[in-house]
Amino acid sequence: MIVALLAGTALLLVLALAGAVARGQGPRLYAAAAIVTALSAVLALASLASAPATLTLPLGLPWLGWHFRLDPLSAFFLFVVDLGAASASLFAIGYGRHEEEPGRVLPFFPLFLAALQLVVLADDAFSFLFSWELMSLASWALVLVHHRDRESIRAGYVYLLMAVLSGFALLLCFGLLAGGAGAYGFAAMRLAHPAPGLAALALLLALLGTGAKAGLVPVHAWLPLAHPAAPSHVSALMSGVMTKVAVYAFLRIAFDLLPVPPGWIGLIVLALGGITAVLGVLYALMQHDLKRLLAYHTVENIGIIFIGIGLAMVFRAAAGEEAAAALALTASLFHVFNHSVFKSLLFFGAGSVDVATGTRDMERQGGLIHRMPRTGFFFLIGCAAISALPPLNGFVSEWLTFQAILLGPGLPEWGPKILIPVDGALLALAAALAAACFVKAFGVTFLGRPRSAAASAAEEADRFSLGAMGVLAALCCLAGIFPAVVINALAPTARTLVGAAMPTQSFFHAFVPWGAIIPVAAARSSYDGFAIFLLLVAVTGLAIGAARRLAAHAVRRAPAWDCGFPDPRPETQYTATSFAEPIRRVFGPAVFGAASAVRMPAPGSLSPARIRSALRDRLWEIFYAPVAGVVERLATSADRLQFLTIRRYLFFVFAALVALLLALALTQ
Amino acid sequence: MIGPPVIEALQMALVLLAAPGLVGIVRAVKARLQRREGPPLVQPYRQILRLLAKEVVLAENASWLFRTAPYLILALTWAASSVVPTFSTGLAFAPLGDLIVITALLGAARFLLALAGLDIGTSFGGIGASREAMFASLAEPAMLMIVVTLAIAAGSTQLSTIAAFMLSPAAGLRFSFALALVALVIVALAENGRIPIDNPATHLELTMVHEAMVLEYSGRHLAMIELAAALKLLLTISIIACIFFPFGLGLPGFAGFLVGLLSYAMKLGIAAILLGVFEVSIAKMRVFRVPELLGAGLMLGLLGTLLLYVSRGL
């Protein structure tokens, strides 16, 4: 199995080489990548429940070799990676034709896919870090595809800096784990028992390193810059898949390589998750660039995933709470799968809109549901799924997370007792705000009247793009309607990580008892996606049927009523900014330091009234601006060293030598 | 003996039939308190029937979403109400979902309604949708915090279990329940667009929220929306009654069934009168005062939860 998977990775590397040579063959390359990754996805799915398999190749460090391992955890994440990769490749067969410089995409896209697979399969620190950096660099090259765009350059710069930070933190983390003897194999790390303080430090470094890749607040700032800058199929991969690989890395280190960490680290993860979820969605609400809005929602969903992981860590640290830990972890993994599916779908939709109208700015769109009905339908399913609406998949994972939160009062310590319900409130707030945000995203982009000439002349996406979106939309529905299948499939992974799994969920019962998912006990809580779906279909059918039989059939098209004053100009519609204005007024002053000023002309004056509102990125001001300032100042003062005479340089060399010798003499 | 499927079918029919009547009672109470004659109690039924008989005037750029949303909104509300124990706890659909699922189904209905408000591209539709989104972003978390409070006390989010717990002596009188009740009433007022949050009787442009979203609807579509709104009012009252006043629920035998039915009718009547009196005696808030009220609801819910985390007895 593992050999076949690696053969697939090797094929992707060959495709990367082919992409560098044969630039006109974009669609064929994408088709080949789609087939290879789809096959890998099937293989990964098949090995979800199988025993760990390992393989060593004579590559990498000569005394270490290149270790690979396929266990239930890596199989699950490999499935997520390959599913996203296959759908992105399928989407790109059509979408890639619109790329102006395909030569800048084609070599790096398969390389990126191969690197994603290699990270998940790596079983020693060297190969892991090598693949990790390969993943960062390949995606960095893809962010810079539109390299003449000023925003892309800034995005690429910030991304590179944060990738370096992330890689550096992980390097130190693995250094601590490997110990003085330099045992870089994961197998050796599992057996080593580092001192508690050292283990905690390693875990915090892992949180920093993987959080910076996943987009955890406050190390998220690169994400909403870099993800939208790349072509849309790459954005989908970065948001839907690469952030999940970062989650994988954290799970691997925290739950597999290290011994059970103390509960307070779980509390840190829990707090960061809650803050990330709410801030991510609030930032998303303030955007009117469709792809940037989606990127901020990735931050939010990473927060939700980390809430689940934090809960699992807290429960795991407490005695006798394995079942609760399994529930929290399953919820988190379910959300990993869900988010990868609907975020890819939404980015594909945004890419199609971008191609059709030539802009990502929502304020210049509108009414696209008429011009692009299929894209609109699939995008709507994605919006409903990410807003956690039943019977779609996003609801199930958030519901499971809530059920895990409700198990919090069983814990004896005070920290979790206070923090878990607060996190519940943050999760609820994030979910409700996400629904508001996607009403805005879909409503302003696809509904209403076109706000620009390009929007009123938009064309439906090609069939490959629609196919990719259709598959993902169907997955959103299926995973929501048959959640028991997903939960059962996640059981081996949960068992690998926390030593327990959720009770096996029954489905396809002959309706009595219903095939409801029951996280803990039937009297406690249950949810039956399939029955809800059937009920909704039946009741909707009943309503439509009754209306057909009882009601008048006449339909007349007429101008909009609008209280008697319809205005044909599309500018009179609500825009993305005006839609979010009430929420900005409620949350803005506290979170963004928002200030707005209205300038009203004097009565009788014909000049227009103006409103000017300004938002500040407090996170940037607190976490990034000071660091940038210190670096700047250091660089300026070090700048003086650049223009000295050779005598002075020689003096410095001499002084350094003396200082070092003195230090040596003192320490010996 | 009456089996769960029969009770379920009976309940689903009953809630749909009773919902417009409930609206009629609220309107009659308000009319009387304002010294008006007021419409007869059956007026909401007449209104729905008349709307069904009228032609649909559809705005020129209405999409398929606008035309299907009313049916889906009614279906989501109706499906949510099929899980709430109204006059009996023995519901066949009870395992379908818990209180969180009910909240989410109502949230889905609201999501569609807000989208329908944006579909025509008029400024009123936009104002309604955007304000509704703001209310919902505070009301839904408040609702979920209430759910958490109840779930910690009763050890369940399943409504029938919560009702059984509230009937048992273990429930007692607790401070956190009082907080949850106040929060739930605030949320219920917001969910249904009642005074002081929104005025269901208004057609004054700048004060509308719910009415602004449905401004472009007519004919059978409007009938579905009106029915769904009435059903939602009945549903939220039923949830409050089921959680905090579960008297008459879960009694055995046919007599118990009748007692449940009668006490449910009584609870609905009392709630309608209270709502009417409340609405007449208070003024509508400015839109941007509403977040303070809903934020208070959220904080009350969170406070109740924290109290229970500190001690299960509070």
With cut-offs at 50, 70 and 90, classify the pLDDT of residue B171.
Answer: confident
Question: Which among B223, B208, B245 is positioned nearest to B117, based on CA atoms?
Answer: B208
Lowest mean pLDDT among A325-334, A508-517, A621-630, B20-29: A508-517
pLDDT computed for residue B90 by the predictor: 80
pLDDT computed for residue A511 by the predictor: 45
CA distance A30 to A96: 9
Is it true that the peptide bond before A601 is cis, omega within 30 degrees of 0? no
Question: Which among B117, B119, B137 is positioned nearest to B129, based on CA atoms?
Answer: B117
CB under 8 Å to A204, separation ≥6 — which residues?
A: A265, A268
* Sequential DSSP letters for A609-662: PEEEEE---HHIIIIIHHHHHHHHHHHHHHHGGGG--HHHHHHHHHHHHHHHHH
Q: How confident is the model over A457-477, as pLDDT tens digits?
A: 999 999 999 999 999 999 999
**ipTM reported for the complex, 2 dp:** 0.96
> Within 13 Å and on the Cβ side, how many CA atoms surround A608?
3
CA distance A185 to A56: 11
- Check: CB of residue A68 under 8 Å from CB of residue A6: yes
Domain extents in chain A: 263-520+528-539+576-592, 618-667
Of B55, B215, B224, nearest to A561 by CB-CB distance is B215
- Check: CB of residue B134 under 8 Å from CB of residue A586: yes
CB under 8 Å to A307, separation ≥6 — which residues?
A: A270, A273, A274, A277, A332, A401, A423, A426, A427
B76–A526 CB contact, under 8 Å: no
Q: How confident is the model over B261-284, as pLDDT tens digits?
A: 999 999 999 999 999 999 999 988
A387 chain-B contacts, CB cut-off 8 A = 107, 111
Cβ burial of A343 (10 Å; 0-12, 13-18, 19+) is buried
pLDDT average, residue stretch A428-453 = 95
B63 touches chain A (CB under 8 A): yes
Hey, is A380 helix, strand or coil?
helix
Question: Which among B78, B27, B70, B43 is positioned nearest to B194, based on CA atoms?
Answer: B27
Domain extents in chain B: 4-310
Angle at A656 between CA A652 and CA A662, to 5 degrees: 145
Q: How confident is the model over A502-549, as pLDDT tens digits?
A: 888 876 544 444 567 888 887 888 888 888 999 999 999 999 999 999
CA distance A352 to A489: 33
CA distance B79 to A200: 49
DSSP state of B127: H
pLDDT average, residue stretch A160-186 = 91
CA distance A10 to B146: 54
CB under 8 Å to B309, separation ≥6 — which residues?
A: A408, A409, A417, A418, A420, A421, B152
Query: What is the rounded average pLDDT for all residues in chain B?
Result: 91
Q: How confident is the model over B72-110, as pLDDT tens digits?
A: 999 999 999 999 999 888 888 888 889 999 999 999 999
Q: Cα distance from B18 to chain A (closest Cα, Å)?
A: 17
DSSP state of B205: G
B219 chain-A contacts, CB cut-off 8 A = 551-552, 554-555
Q: Cα distance from B63 to chain A (closest Cα, Å)?
A: 7
Question: Which among A209, A213, A208 is positioned nearest to A226, based on CA atoms?
Answer: A213
Q: How confident is the model over A560-591, as pLDDT tens digits?
A: 988 888 888 888 899 999 999 999 989 888 88
B115 chain-A contacts, CB cut-off 8 A = 439, 442-443, 447
B115–A439 CB contact, under 8 Å: yes
CA distance A523 to A151: 54
Q: In B34-98, which ranges are continuous DSSP H helix?
A: 43-53, 64-81
Q: Cα distance from B273 to chain A (closest Cα, Å)?
A: 30
Cβ burial of B213 (10 Å; 0-12, 13-18, 19+) is buried
CA distance B117 to A76: 41
pLDDT average, residue stretch A16-26 = 84
Helical packing angle, A243-251 and A196-214, nearest 10°: 170
Query: What is the rounded average pLDDT for all residues in chain A?
Result: 91
Q: What's phi and psi for A139, nearest 5 deg?
A: -70, -30
| Tokens matching residue A259 | 């011994």
Of A367, A424, A556, nearest to B148 by CB-CB distance is A424
| Tokens matching residue A606 | 């014909």
B78–A431 CB contact, under 8 Å: no
B120 touches chain A (CB under 8 A): yes
pLDDT average, residue stretch A652-657 = 94
CB under 8 Å to A451, separation ≥6 — which residues?
A: A363, A364, A365, A366, A570, A571, A573, A575
- Check: CB of residue A302 under 8 Å from CB of residue A243: yes
Amino acid identity, position A11 = L
Q: How confident is the model over B279-311, as pLDDT tens digits?
A: 999 988 888 889 999 999 999 999 988 888 777
Cβ burial of B186 (10 Å; 0-12, 13-18, 19+) is buried
pLDDT computed for residue A611 by the predictor: 84
Indicate whether A627 pLDDT > 70.
yes
CB under 8 Å to A379, separation ≥6 — which residues?
A: A345, A346, A349, A442, A445, A446, A469
| Tokens matching residue B269 | 């009547």
pLDDT computed for residue A46 by the predictor: 93
Q: Calculate what percentage of chain A has a pLDDT beyond 70.
A: 99
Angle at A224 between CA A218 and CA A228, to 5 degrees: 165
Hey, is A272 helix, strand or coil?
helix
With cut-offs at 50, 70 and 90, classify the pLDDT of residue A618.
Answer: confident
Element (H, E) at A595: strand A595-599
Task: Look up tokens 């046919």; give the residue.
Answer: B254
Q: Cα distance from A361 to chain B (closest Cα, Å)?
A: 17
B136–A557 CB contact, under 8 Å: no
pLDDT computed for residue A567 by the predictor: 83
A526 chain-B contacts, CB cut-off 8 A = 95-98, 158
B118–A448 CB contact, under 8 Å: yes
pLDDT computed for residue A513 by the predictor: 43
B204 touches chain A (CB under 8 A): no
Task: Look up tokens 């283990």; give the residue.
Answer: A199
Which residues 65-94 of chain B have a CB within 8 Å of chain A?
Answer: 65, 71-72, 74-76, 78-79, 82, 93
